[in-house]
Structure 1
Amino acid sequence: MPVPRPFVRSLVTAAVLGAALSGCTGHARTGTDNPDAALRVVTTTEILADLVRQVGGDRVQVDSIVPPGGDPHSYEPTPADADRVSKADITFTNHLLLEEHALIKTVDSNAREGTPNVSLAEASETYGANVIPLVEDVGLDVLWLGLRVRGEGEARGATRSSDVLLSATDVQGPGELVAYLTESLGQPHIYFNSADGLSAKDTTSLPPAAHTHLNWAFTKPGVYRLSLEAKLRNPGGTTAPVGAGTFTFAVGVDPHTVAKPGDTILDDGHTDLTVNIDTGKMSAFTDLRSEGRTQEEIPPGDVVVDVPNRALEKVPGGKQFSFLGQPGAEIYQLPQAVLGKHVHGEIDPHLWQDVQNTKSYVQLIRDTLKKEDPDGAERYTTDSRRYEAELDEVDAYVHRQIAAIPADRRQLITTHDAFGYLADAYGMTVAGFVVPNPAQEPSADDVKKLSRTIRNLKVPAVFMEPNLVQRATVLSQVAKDQGVEVCMLYGDAFDQHTRHYTDMMRHNADELRGCLGGTEK
């Protein structure tokens, strides 16, 4: 049966309270201590911990680093987490840049030498998991510009715990250039700012094979040239240069008067200023000429980034934005597009939203446990088979529930782009997620765009996640104005109502059918 709406409302309330409580405690973990366990296992998330418990039973003691209701994308590890990892016989991460980079570095630097440290999302492909590209299509009316690191850098000694340092070394232009990120609750974090001169502080870092979104603000119209330098910092602390380049921006002026013959004018779609740590080259990595299907690297000297007059914005009030100028002053700004810190790679890391992918995780967990604890091999095999059969039942259930939704209503509008695998596996479409202008309160135009999407698609409901309720103000208000329901899907985390992966997926299937108008059985 579909989940009743009062339960959804209680989820929203509980999630907010849970977030407040977790901010006070921060260290709650699920599971009971098992001193007689054959293996001590640490996972990064509760979802992974549940899968390990299903396979390992009472032969394993399992702890999740990210606490109940926590967000693996942003969780900052503690010394207690490092200590927990150091005592583990096995550590399991999801990775593919799902987890906060500091969390991955804590795992890698504290896992005992010789113990398995398994990245499930990456290794599960050999067990038949289906991985899909993380396709982002926000549809801004100006260029969406970020920063990116391509390549793995293995020849340079890089690992997943390495950092690539991107520094602004020079800005030439009529005004100041500021690149900054706006956090989920509106607090800006400055990456580069030429107003007070460029120094070592005008540096940000990304892990290998990652990219991030930024705002790019310019105080006056004209031609700007930004020089970037990249260095690779490995876990041992050694740092070496890997690339440099200078990019040209046409701000409030016709980019054709700036471009040389043969140059590419970047004025739409998604582009990242990029360093490739395999080749040592800088580029503009863009989807402009491929209509979003694939991307290409264009040398810095062959591109002009268009910052048109329609990118004019007024500096919002509040001391936190004073680095942009006086409140009300006009600046030219390419917006960050997705509110909050959003570092990820080219592959969608949320594999578990396809239940068949989760079977691949389970098989990899089984084989890892068997190798480290041969005495329990028969038990792990038996429990794995039992749980895989249960997963097959859940997979069939999700298929049935979503198949009961009319085809024209299988549209997902969410707060977080975490449901691509669910859509791909079960015949749904990710129609959109909330995209406010990060430099200010969401504009009337932002609200109109979201409202128009809901209205045009005639969706009866939109979806938020229990651990992201506080980020869903715009979605909730637009849903109320459009007379559609706000429902709940689990993405990255459990809560006090749902403590197991199979319950989570059954809930999601029920919620989708109940909220989007499933047909009668």
Structure 2
Amino acid sequence: MTPRTPYPRGALRTLAATAVLALGLAGCEGHARPDAAAENPDAELKVVTTTEILADLVRQVGGDRVQADSVVPPGGDPHSYEPTPRDAEKVTEADVTFTNHLLLEEHALIKTVDANAREGTPNVSLAEASETYGANVIPLVEDVGLDVLWLGLRVRGDGEARGASRSSDVLLTATGMTGPGELAAYLTESLGKPKKYFDSADGFSAADTTSLPPAAHTHLNWAFTEPGVYELTLEARLRNGGAEPRPVGEGTFTFAVGVDPHTVADKGDTILDEGHTDLTVNIDTGRMSAYTDQRSRGEEQEEIPPDDVVIDVPNRALDEVPEEREFAFLGEPGAQIHQLPQAVLGKHVHGEIDPHLWQDVQNAKAYALLIRDTLKKADPKGARAYDRGARAYETELDRLDAYVREQVGRIPADRRQLITTHDAFGYLADAYGMTVAGFVVPNPAQEPSADDVEKLTRTIDNLDVPAVFMEPNLARRASVLTQVAEDQDVEVCSLYGDSFDEKTRHYTDMMRHNADELRRCLGGPDT
């Protein structure tokens, strides 16, 4: 795998906001293509995909022989979309289902697909199977430059020996805590509403549980009401389908909150105070650990047993309880708490591999070939038609790949810096010679502070970027970025990441727009 350039420490502080972005969209060249979501009563195959991007690829390969529909609607976010009963019914009617997976989609969506796909029909995870067709996969490297530890939860391993599948759930439950105050771990959802996972204030119970699929990771806020030493015990259980959960592992983690961690740590312990760490269960080995990149600087993480780490929550992590009553479980509004921030707004479950493969056009071509072979198996009589469709689309994708490469190549090398709404453009950077300089990560608990704005301003100024980029479906979260960009005389431009909108309905349109926008916004006066 080709490693990605890690984000420079100190790149972007967390932000939260709402805004409206006006978009200018580019046209597209290519062969006549099936209209997005057009009804096709004569189709031989009903195909259901999780995203509109995948549905478009199916239509280009399958032509009139397929009726392809996406579960996630236009402008929807596959990371967070919650399926409906009608979505489940749609899956049961499908002859073929395609997901991206690699934990791109919300776990509930994957479970809906797996539970309702008819027995004997193809149910293909394109990102995971496309490597055999030449797709290039790269690791998902996260570093948002926080000045405190970034702490999450993780499940390692696939658990096949325990009967697990991608639809299984790993339950992580807080079963005990000692300390001078209360501890709460919670998620801040996309619109700013908190969702409690663990809360010691009323004692731990079965309600203090969250779940993750195998090989997944999520972000959380960790709040402590008083300084001192805390010990938190977590228990992991594996649930396959409707079976009773089975114990997997247990571990107790120590936090030094507002006190010198060296006075807490034993000789040989590792003090975790920077970078990215997850409290982790390995469902293959049954071991709990702190899975951290602190000593390897983001290149390769390591598992450290819970008894051998102390998690530092320093006084610079002091924060105030927001005024909104939804945050009352943290204390009185304005009260000071120590908090390790979530860093990325909203539910953000993912794995160790970047799932956004289609941002490299050659990967989209691998998807198309895998789609071709899947359709041929489901509909052998249409084999020639699928071969013809795939050949024509391959030719179009090769032209598209050359076009993107040409447009980015006309950008001066020192201007090929991407600051984007969220971390969806690693493949674009890796394939076409750009650098992901940072991504906008909204503040999980409150409006951005003056310090947040100052750090963002400094990042834009230090990199000397002429533009920053937002995804159309995430534009409402970016008013602070917009304001800072205006203050710095930096243009705000648009890139499509995970989804289409009402104006852009085809993958080739999307990538041509991205290439044109990159060149227009970063290219400089002589390009």
Give the TM-score of the pair, scaled to structure 1.
Answer: 0.94
The counterpart of 1:258, out of the listed 232, 257, 264, is: 264
2:365, 2:394 within 8 Å by CA — same for their partners in 1?
A: yes
The counterpart of 1:357, out of the listed 343, 354, 363, is: 363
2:36, 2:506 within 8 Å by CA — same for their partners in 1?
A: no
Q: What letter corresponds to residue 336 of structure 2 in structure 1?
A: E
Identity, in percent, stands at 79
1:404, 1:520 within 8 Å by CA — same for their partners in 2?
A: no
Partner Cα separation in structure 1 for residue 499 and residue 341 of structure 2: 29
The counterpart of 1:377, out of the listed 370, 373, 383, is: 383
Q: What letter corresponds to residue 122 of structure 2 in structure 1?
A: P
1:160, 1:207 within 8 Å by CA — same for their partners in 2?
A: yes
1:165-221 CA deviation, whole Å, 9 max, x = no partner? 000000100000010111122111111000011001100001110111111111111
Partner Cα separation in structure 2 for residue 71 and residue 64 of structure 1: 12
Match of 2:450 in 1: 444
Partner Cα separation in structure 2 for residue 183 and residue 49 of structure 1: 28
The counterpart of 2:97, out of the listed 82, 88, 91, is: 91
Q: Secondary structure at the match of 1:122?
A: helix
Match of 2:495 in 1: 489
Q: Secondary structure at the match of 1:10?
A: coil
* 1:162 is aligned to 2:168: yes
1:508 to partner: Cα distance: 0.3
1:10 to partner: Cα distance: 3.4
Match of 2:32 in 1: none
Q: Secondary structure at the match of 2:402?
A: helix
Partner Cα separation in structure 1 for residue 349 and residue 82 of structure 2: 14
Q: Considering only aligned residues, what root-mean-square deviation do their CA atoms show, in Å? A: 1.4
1:469 to partner: Cα distance: 1.2
Match of 1:37 in 2: 43
Q: Secondary structure at the match of 1:130?
A: coil
The counterpart of 1:401, out of the listed 400, 403, 407, is: 407
Seen in structure 2, the aligned counterparts of structure 1 residues 214 and 381 have a Cα distance that, compared at 3 Å, is same
* 1:471 is aligned to 2:477: yes
* 1:10 is aligned to 2:16: no
Match of 1:502 in 2: 508
The counterpart of 2:109, out of the listed 97, 103, 107, is: 103
* 1:225 is aligned to 2:231: yes
Match of 1:244 in 2: 250
Give unmatched runs, 5+ long, in structure 2.
Answer: 1-19, 26-34
1:167, 1:203 within 8 Å by CA — same for their partners in 2?
A: yes
Partner Cα separation in structure 1 for residue 453 and residue 388 of structure 2: 52
* 1:317 is aligned to 2:323: yes
1:262-288 CA deviation, whole Å, 9 max, x = no partner? 111101110000000000110000011
Aligned counterparts, 1:93-132, within 5 A: 93-132=99-138
1:298-354 CA deviation, whole Å, 9 max, x = no partner? 000110001111111111211011111111111111111112111100000000000
Match of 2:393 in 1: 387
Q: What letter corresponds to residue 334 of structure 2 in structure 1?
A: G
Task: Tell me which moved more, 278-287 or 446-455.
Answer: 446-455
1:248, 1:303 within 8 Å by CA — same for their partners in 2?
A: yes
1:450 to partner: Cα distance: 1.2
Aligned counterparts, 1:184-333, within 5 A: 184-333=190-339
Partner Cα separation in structure 1 for residue 196 and residue 463 of structure 2: 38
2:229, 2:256 within 8 Å by CA — same for their partners in 1?
A: yes
1:439 to partner: Cα distance: 1.8
Q: Secondary structure at the match of 2:155?
A: strand
1:237 to partner: Cα distance: 2.8
Higher RCO structure (Cα 8 Å, ≥6 apart): 2
1:32 to partner: Cα distance: 2.4
1:9-40 CA deviation, whole Å, 9 max, x = no partner? 53399xxxxxxxxxxxxxxx942222221111
Q: What letter corresponds to residue 280 of structure 2 in structure 1?
A: T
* 1:69 is aligned to 2:75: yes
Q: Secondary structure at the match of 2:355?
A: coil
2:53, 2:506 within 8 Å by CA — same for their partners in 1?
A: yes
Give unmatched runs, 5+ long, in structure 1.
Answer: 1-7, 14-28
2:36, 2:56 within 8 Å by CA — same for their partners in 1?
A: no
1:470 to partner: Cα distance: 1.2
Partner Cα separation in structure 2 for residue 294 and residue 375 of structure 1: 48
Q: Secondary structure at the match of 2:422?
A: coil
* 1:137 is aligned to 2:143: yes
1:419-474 CA deviation, whole Å, 9 max, x = no partner? 00000000111111123431221111111111111111111111111111111122
